[in-house]
Amino acid sequence: MSKTKIVVLLGFLITAVAGYVLLQQYLNFEFLANQEQGLKDYYESHPLIVLAGAFLIYFLITGLLIPGAAVMTLICAWFFGFATSTILISFASTAGATMAFLTSRYLFRDYINQKFGQSLETFQDRLEKEGAFYLFTLRLIPLVPFFVINAVMGLTKIKVTTFWWVSQLGMLAGTLVFCYAGSRIPNLQSIQEKGVNAVFDRSQMSQILIAFALLGLFPLAAKKLLGVLGKLPQEDAQG
């Protein structure tokens, strides 16, 4: 790894650690619950500043691989409402994911190709052809960590524009669910005291996870079905 890349990597890690410390201090339910009225008053007076600030914070959380994206989604949905938060989170999360994707590509792809290029050549060629499909499927499965997808895809040949639009579309379902959940929070004090149970009970959570799992399997099933139909004998047009 070149000196420039080492410097970039160190800067990335330092920024991520600093961001994590600050978020732990200020972006928690207890602190925000105490500032609830003041935040709402400031938003009424300076809506664009607050929206831009929320977008930037979410972008940095996802781009720097800082834990807390789910909590931030709930907070934004509670604060801005379902529609506004869905738009904000959808674009901010995709922008952050693309930043992480590009960082992984810049820092590690050349090294991985040098070490394992020949053994990964077949995989890379197939992923180049069907990368959008695989990425879309992974985005629909909530059990696959967000940062893992971004980092691994950065090591492949998938185009940046393809990564962007597929991520934007594939993450929308999860964004809608979390933003809906957050918009149902009456106040931050309740979720601070009751946790996720303030929004969803266990039966609802299990139903959501099952729905996501089925949603993730849908592209695979559809592709398999199309493959089977394509192999069926066609009737003679003269028949």
The number of distinct structural domains making up the chain is 1
Residue 218: how many CB atoms within 10 A of its CB? 12
- From the list 181, 167, 115, the residue with the least C-alpha distance to 138 is 167
pLDDT for the residue numbered 226: 46
Assigned token pair, 138: 């992974």
Cα 6 to Cα 61: distance, rounded to the nearest angstrom? 22
Cα 46 to Cα 161: distance, rounded to the nearest angstrom? 33
Residue 107 within a domain: yes
Domain span holding position 221: 3-228
pLDDT for the residue numbered 178: 83
What secondary structure, in 3-state letters, does 153-205 show? HHCCCCCHHHHHHHHHHHCHHHHHHHHHHHHCCCCHHHHHHHHHHHCCCHHHH
Single-letter amino acid code for the residue at 47: P
Residue 235 within a domain: no
Residue 81 within a domain: yes
Residue 239 within a domain: no
Residue 237 within a domain: no
Torsion of CA 188, 192, 198, 200, to 10 degrees: 110
Is 213 strand, coil or helix? helix
Helix, strand, coil percent values for the chain (each to nearest 5)? 80, 0, 20
Burial 144-162 (b: 16+ CB within 10 A, else e): eebbebbbebbbbebeeee
pLDDT for the residue numbered 214: 60
Residue 87 within a domain: yes
Looking at residue 105, the DSSP 8-state letter turns out to be I
Single-letter amino acid code for the residue at 103: T
Residue 238 within a domain: no
Residue 99 within a domain: yes
Assigned token pair, 15: 């920024």
pLDDT for the residue numbered 85: 95
pLDDT tens-place values along the chain, 239 residues long: 678 888 888 888 888 888 888 877 777 777 777 787 888 899 999 999 999 999 999 999 999 888 778 888 888 998 999 999 999 999 999 999 999 999 988 888 777 767 655 556 666 666 667 777 778 877 877 667 788 888 888 888 888 998 999 899 888 888 888 888 788 777 776 666 665 555 655 555 555 566 556 665 655 555 555 455 455 454 444 44
pLDDT for the residue numbered 9: 85
pLDDT for the residue numbered 164: 93
pLDDT for the residue numbered 238: 45
Torsion of CA 205, 210, 212, 216, to 10 degrees: 160
